Chains A and B, each alone.
Chain A
């Protein structure tokens, strides 16, 4: 679970991290203000199967693209990237085209995120 950029709103990221942990999934939270480089580095070091990015500042197109680009450069494109935040409907298709497996918007139930992560992160194929 990662907070890229300068956005300090971590309520959503923390709630999802707790819900995943309570569901028995191992979660590492990066903390605030991480650059895409730091996030990818942490993902590789921790050998994580997926990255959940949370952005509420409107910088999602730039930051998600950068994380995916860096994963490709490190031959780690098999790591599932998903995310959420204040993301307009119209941006979801472009994010999916760049390789984001799933975008969760406000109002999503935590168990829906948990079910999706169980099904698709670490081997599964996104619907």
Chain B
């Protein structure tokens, strides 16, 4: 009897045995190249982790700027120089803490930032020329970047010394994460303005982190994840080129963000395929010449959606396996989730265990001793080719629709991802897909677990700070700055310059976003299920 292949997460066949015939006609020079050179299948750097491991970058932030500032100082005292800021939902959606829609959300999933007053507190005593700061902020990405620059200025740090990343990937918000504000066209224009501004003023800043992570969390398969992410990347590159920029002027500052699942083999194949596709697209479609423009550098976070509320300690094991997949796939930085993520925000102890997991991978295993350890493996090379082919097919469909934005407006990516999510739910319900502790190896009584709580008084505190700010500032200066911002938004001038003036005059995040909403409108999705 011939054993049947098992479907991978992308629905591709995994054969019970692979041999040399799997790589018939496979040319290592064409498919792999050397590590650190085109097409970068084996990694973006020649030495990868043999010199130093990836950057361990743990996403954190909650409550008020004061509390988050204390957490960052603690991280820095422990040797971290890479901060990763989580903002609360009102900040991410461009609402002030005292807006009615913000009720109940202030400080919950991240820190509340309403104005430069909060930003100054967030980074108080943290020298911005000595840390690199990653900010998970998208639709209001320009505002938070400018607030960071303004606080740096107050500290006497010149903008050209600032390093870090804003996520700034609005297209995936329409597809998966849902924290969008403006419609796609003005959003893309704002992103092009950011690219130009950073090129001139903050040259070391990573201007965008093009993300598949959230699509994967919403249900995307590995092939869908990289296909839709790279298609978004292509849309951003086209936007910047159309705005008059030279591809090699901004492409080296593009970075990516993917998930790592427990399915190690396909994940490694996915990361390798993504690097190969991007290098080809940048060279062949956009004529990029700088090798840095061809490199797909990426951050990875372990898959939160694979974690379970049942027997949560089992998640420690899942995260270790997921983290291993990211490392074997050649990630540049990694966030490992805490085991209690499916229950609530991580506690100090669970956050520390998550970091320890990375340290075990980096310092106790031998996977860092050699570059791209899976290269030449029959199965991984075959799966790399298969995932690449599946992703290219999906990317071709997006192109046929006119590119990522047109496909988004037709609900294509979201529909594909939701179908995939529903299939996973059905497989889990039927037991066909095993989830340890959920549909197999369950226990009758779960142990009680006390999660971290955010103080609900934060909302009132933020509202009081806002009232004070509005009473205290030069309102005429704020009004004039917001009017100038609207004028730029109506025309073609870079909006970041008047936006910076408004924020410096202590306009709030909500006021700046509202001024832009008046000109650009808001995005209303066509949401079916």
**Which residues of A are in contact with B by a Cβ distance under 8 Å?**
5-11, 14-15, 17-19, 21, 27, 29, 31-33, 35, 57-59, 61-63, 66, 86, 88-90, 105-107, 109-111
Contact = CB atoms under 8 A, between A and B. Distances in A.
* Majority secondary structure of chain B interface residues (helix, strand, loop or mixed): loop
Contacts of A90: 450-451
A15 B423 CA distance: 9
A34 to B, nearest CB: 9
B177 A8 contact: yes
B104 A5 contact: yes
Contacts of A105: 309
A67 to B, nearest CB: 11
Interface string B496-529: 0000000000000000000000000000010111
Contact of B421 (A5, A15, A32, A58): A15
B308 interface: yes
Interface string B277-308: 00000000000000000000000000001001
B438 A29 contact: no
B448 interface: yes
Given A5-B103, A58-B454, 12 more contacts: A6-B101, A6-B105, A8-B179, A11-B219, A11-B305, A15-B422, A59-B105, A106-B308, A106-B309, A109-B429, A109-B439, A110-B426
A14 B421 contact: yes
A6 B95 contact: yes
Among all A-B residue pairs, the 4 with the closest Cβ atoms:
A8-B178, A62-B104, A59-B104, A6-B89
Nearest to A38: B101
A8 B217 CA distance: 12
A10 B14 CA distance: 31
Nearest to B93: A6
A111 B95 CA distance: 38
Nearest to A9: B178
Nearest to A105: B309
A6 B345 contact: no
Contacts of B525: 31-32
A35 to B, nearest CB: 6
For chain B, give the interface size range. 35 or more
Contacts of B109: 57-58
B90 A6 contact: yes
A52 to B, nearest CB: 12
A29 to B, nearest CB: 5
A19 B105 CA distance: 29
* Majority secondary structure of chain A interface residues (helix, strand, loop or mixed): loop
Interface in B376-431: 418, 421-422, 425-426, 428-429
Contacts of B105: 5-7, 57, 59
Given A14-B421, A21-B529, A33-B178, A88 B93 contact: no
Contacts of A21: 529
Contacts of B446: 89
Contacts of A5: 89, 101, 103-105
Contact of A107 (B102, B217, B308, B345): B308
A29 B428 CA distance: 23
B245 interface: no
A21 B418 CA distance: 14
Nearest to B180: A8
B343 A8 contact: no
A66 B109 CA distance: 20
Nearest to A58: B108
Contact of A14 (B89, B418, B448): B418
A35 B101 contact: yes
Nearest to B522: A33
B449 A33 contact: no
Contacts of B104: 5, 59, 61-63, 66
B342 interface: yes
A61 B418 CA distance: 28
A88 B344 contact: yes
Contact of B173 (A7, A8, A107): A8
Interface string B425-460: 110110000010011000000101111001010000
B132 interface: no
Contacts of B309: 105-107
Nearest to B421: A11
B23 to A, nearest CB: 37
Given A5-B89, A14-B421, A106-B308, A29 B179 contact: no
Contact of A88 (B425, B451, B456, B529): B451
B218 interface: yes
Interface in B325-343: 342-343
B344 A11 contact: no
B51 interface: no
A70 to B, nearest CB: 13
A90 to B, nearest CB: 7
B141 to A, nearest CB: 16
B491 interface: no
Contacts of A61: 104
A11 B89 contact: no
A21 B450 CA distance: 36
B55 interface: no
B155 interface: no
A10 B178 contact: yes
A110 B421 CA distance: 12
Given A33-B93, A33-B101, A11 B178 contact: no
A66 B103 CA distance: 10
